Amino acid sequence: MDPDELVRARAEYDRELRRDAAPDTARARVERAGAVVRQTAPRQGWNGVLWSDLDEDTADAEIAAQVAYFGGRGSGFEWKLYCHDRPADLGARLRAAGFVPEPAETVLVGRVGELAALPVEPPEGITLRAVEDEAGVELMMDVHAKAFGTHRPRIRELLLTLLRDEPEKLAAVVAMAGDTPVSAARMEMRPGCSFAGLWGGGTLPEWRGRGLYRLLVVHRARIAAERGILRLHVDASEDSRPILQRLGFEALGRTVPYTWEPGHGPGPA
């Protein structure tokens, strides 16, 4: 993207996915609270700050207000910090308030039309299974546990909730080698949003290097094209970033998730 297009794309991303964000499930709530937009969710749902409009004079008070709010609910939460957020030292202020930074990711954006047209087909012996029920979700969780080495109960809960309440928001797929799930990924969509998010792409170690990650990206892009979505966005790790950029994704900037848990910093214990 040229500099002007980058500015426009970043502004649209901030408006649609942050400032005017819709909740990720019907059971969550997104609200403007002071100078931030935050989501609150029950059970294992995602709680966090999506967007903020802060400066050097207001940042510390607003951070304290959000810590008090989520701490009062007995809930940990995430503050999604982007490289262009202000003030420039917001990350340092979050750390001083007891937040812990997770590894930085690169926000990548790709044009759906270009990605959907890429000539990619499944390798020999691989079939794609759409995730439409609890059995499909369990196949995804099996892949995630083996690919990432962790169990993800929050993701399992999210998938089951979306399939039950709002299946139009989700497109999830598992690559099968016979009866064995070997790769899996999902796409989340929001009504009226020109962006769809790619999440959770993972492949079993012994199946890496065979094009499955690329296959699932293009597969989801084709679904997005059928639904009239214009762009895909990804919070990319350093492992996935080069693959996505070779496919045509471009960087909007960097993001760092900062997490706060009750009892781990200033605020209600």
| Contact present, 10 and 82 (Cβ < 8 Å) | no
How does 146-156 read in b/e, with b if 16+ C-beta sit within 10 Å?
bbeeeebeebb
pLDDT tens, residue order, the chain (269 aa): 788 888 899 999 999 999 999 999 999 999 999 999 999 998 789 999 999 999 999 999 999 999 999 999 999 999 999 999 999 999 999 999 999 999 999 999 999 999 999 999 999 999 999 999 999 999 999 999 999 998 889 999 999 999 999 999 999 999 999 999 999 999 999 988 999 999 999 999 999 999 999 999 999 999 999 999 999 999 999 989 999 999 999 999 999 999 999 976 565 44
How does 56-76 read in b/e, with b if 16+ C-beta sit within 10 Å?
eeebeebbeebbebbbeeebe
Position 201: which residue type?
A: G
In angstroms, the first-to-last Cα distance of the chain is 46
- Distance, CA of 121 to CA of 202 (rounded, Å): 18
Tens digit of pLDDT for each residue in 49-100?
Answer: 999 999 999 999 999 999 999 999 999 999 999 999 999 999 999 999 999 9
SS (HEC) of 190-234: CCCCCEEEEEEEEECHHHCCCCHHHHHHHHHHHHHHHCCCCEEEE
Q: Tell me the H-state helices in the chain.
A: 3-14, 59-72, 90-96, 112-116, 134-148, 153-165, 212-226, 241-247
* Distance from the Cα of residue 13 to its chain's centroid: 13
| Contact present, 235 and 255 (Cβ < 8 Å) | yes
- The dihedral built from the CA positions of residue 204, 205, 210 and 213, taken in this order, carries a sign that is positive
| Contact present, 236 and 105 (Cβ < 8 Å) | yes
Tokens of 223: 């679904």
* Distance from the Cα of residue 143 to its chain's centroid: 18
Q: Which of 4, 38, 46 is nearest to 155 (CA)?
A: 46
- What domains lie within the chain, and their CATH numbers? 3-105+255-260 (3.40.630), 110-253 (3.40.630.30)
Which pTM does this prediction carry?
0.92
Q: Which of 41, 7, 22 is nearest to 194 (CA)?
A: 22
